[in-house]
Amino acid sequence: MSLYPIFSIITVFLALAFVLLHLVAALSAILNGKKSLGTGFIIAGAIVSILALLLVMISRTLTIYIWIFGNSMICFGAVMNGKNNKKFNKSHHLIRFVIDMLITILLYVSLYLR
């Protein structure tokens, strides 16, 4: 039995959880009245990243590029929110970036193992 399907499912689940957590956090901020450009970037990036995860079965190359673009928007929006709210915590954003990179590498490996 190959471990590839299990690895792929876990990777897509982690990627989807990462994106949905950011989407829920951004929507929660908007509902609390904290509208900003950074929150808009997070929402747009989350939608683009979900689109990338939906394209996993169609195209490998397109999926990874759209995923990187969407997550770059999420990270950029988070940094913008931190700067605008004067609560910029460098280590928090660094950890977010490292988790994003790990999920991206896992997604890349799972796409190109087939």
Q: Where are the domains of the chain?
A: 4-112
- Tens of pLDDT, residues 71-95: 999 999 999 998 888 888 889 889 9
In this structure, what DSSP letter does residue 87 have?
Answer: -
Q: Structure pTM?
A: 0.89
Largest separation between any pair of C-alpha atoms in the chain: 52
Distance CA 63, CA 6 (A): 19
Among residues 81, 99, 64, the alpha carbon closest in space to that of 25 is found at: 81
The three-point CA angle 71-11-81 to 5° equals 25
Check residue 1 and give its pLDDT.
62
Contacts within 8 Å (CB) and 24+ apart, 59-65: 60/111, 60/112, 60/114, 63/107, 63/111, 64/104, 64/107, 64/108, 64/111
In angstroms, rounded to a whole number, what is the distance separating the alpha carbons of residues 11 and 4? 10
**Low-confidence stretches of the chain (pLDDT beneath 70):** 1, 114
pLDDT given for residue 28 in this prediction: 95
CB atoms near residue 26 (< 10 Å): 25
